[in-house]
Amino acid sequence: MHVSTRLHSGVPSPKDAQLDFRQFLEILRHDKDLVEINDEIDPHLEAAAIVRRVSETDNLAPLFNNIKGSKRGLWRMFGNAASLRPNKSDKYGRLARNLGLDPAATWKELTAKTIAAKDKAPLKPIVLPTAPFKKNSISAEDIDLLDLPVPQLHAGDGGRYMQTYGIHVLRTPDKRWTNWSIFRGMVHDRNHLCCLVGTGQHNSMLRDEWRATGAKEMPWALALGVPPAANLVAALPVPKNVSEGEYVGALVGQPLELVECDNSDLLVPASSEIVLEGAFLLEETGMEGPFGDFLGVVFDGDVHKQPLFRVDKITYRDDAIMPISVPGRITDESVRIFPATNLATAY
């Protein structure tokens, strides 16, 4: 396997890295904590196997530049955004870079920064007129998710999961509250994902509000390759009616840059790698699962009806990068992020 750990020029500051996914990768290069794999990698289990091995050995974060079946610039892959490093001196260094901190930051310092955001005033994002991901697009009639190199992450999974480390964007009918959240999404057919929506979660509350209006669908976007700080906040138990985009601003100390989608007025991070636009269908369901979750176990027959999400448009950056998370035993993003962010529940 051919790999490269070359250091690019123009290394960003840690503060830049928490607000831009590609800048985050650049600073991992600077830290010598990134490995580029240029051999062809199969999205069917091979990419996931490497990501899991990295989690289990605290190795370099892999960037796969040559994914089998990629077409039209979709896509490269990256894994292990919040895994551990092998050295005691910067064990939490990768997660620290997600938050714009020095790689030697302690666990206490990481959680302190996360918790501090709840006492700060939310910062309204800055809305830009356009963004790099607007350069390339696939319209509804040409979308075929089955033909894209969506990864199979575990041998026992019920399908290929496109969404494991992006943020879903949903909003109330009266536009008072925009919610960002991470919930898994499996390819259902050429233009639908089937996503896990749990009772009592914010996504379910939003669905209930839209159903009460008599609507059959609600606007939805899925942004992949978003600012690392946004990924962390999307995993937080941020209170109902608090918009994560504003909370990110409080966390990082400056407004987040967003841009409007093409088919709706939903706002997504301007630095996103890939954006899916469409609708959360309120009356249509598909079968989702099984999925190898963070316990490292796949339960046979763990298949349930879940909502369908229709994809009407895909926009993406040149040489787009899809981040993936591969839950399992030992350590991964689930184990790393949630114990830290759950400390922020003291509202």
Mean pLDDT by runs of 10 across the 347 residues of the chain is: 48 85 96 97 98 95 98 96 94 95 94 87 94 98 98 95 97 94 96 92 92 97 97 85 89 94 97 98 96 74 92 98 90 56 44
CATH number assigned to the domain covering 122-345: 2.30.110.10
Are the C-beta atoms of residues 280 and 245 closer than 8 Å to each other? no
Q: From CA 182, how far away is CA 63, in angstroms rounded?
A: 21
- Residues with Cβ < 8 Å from 17, sequence gap 6 or more? 23, 24, 26, 27, 97, 100, 228
Count of beta carbons in the 10 Å neighbourhood of residue 166: 29
Please choose, from the candidates 320, 315, 322, 321, the residue with its C-alpha nearest in 3D space to the C-alpha of residue 136. 315
Backbone conformation region of residue 73, classed left if phi is above 0, alpha if psi is from -120 to 50, else beta: left
Phi first, then psi, for residue 169 (nearest 5°) are: -115, 120
Are the C-beta atoms of residues 43 and 152 closer than 8 Å to each other? yes
Per-residue confidence (pLDDT) for residue 330, from 0 to 100: 66
How far is CA 259 from each of CA 24, 253, 273, rounded to the nearest angstrom? 20, 19, 13
Q: From CA 311, how far away is CA 189, in angstroms rounded?
A: 10
- Residues with Cβ < 8 Å from 83, sequence gap 6 or more? 54, 55, 58, 61, 94, 331, 332, 333, 336
Per-residue confidence (pLDDT) for residue 6, from 0 to 100: 38
Q: Is 0.85 topped by the overall pTM?
A: yes
The tokens describing 324, both together, are: 């993936």
Phi first, then psi, for residue 15 (nearest 5°) are: -65, -40
User: CA 154, 41, 52 angle in degrees (round to 5)?
Assistant: 40
Residue ranges per domain, the chain? 3-117, 122-345
How far is CA 45 from each of CA 34, 68, 156, 161, 346, rounded to the nearest angstrom? 21, 12, 10, 11, 39
SS3 76: strand
Cα R_g (the chain), whole angstroms: 19
Please choose, from the candidates 248, 240, 267, 250, the residue with its C-alpha nearest in 3D space to the C-alpha of residue 170. 267
- Residues with Cβ < 8 Å from 337, sequence gap 6 or more? 82, 95, 232, 235
Angle, helix 333-341 to helix 107-116, in steps of 10 degrees:
60
SS3 285: strand
Phi first, then psi, for residue 51 (nearest 5°) are: -60, -45
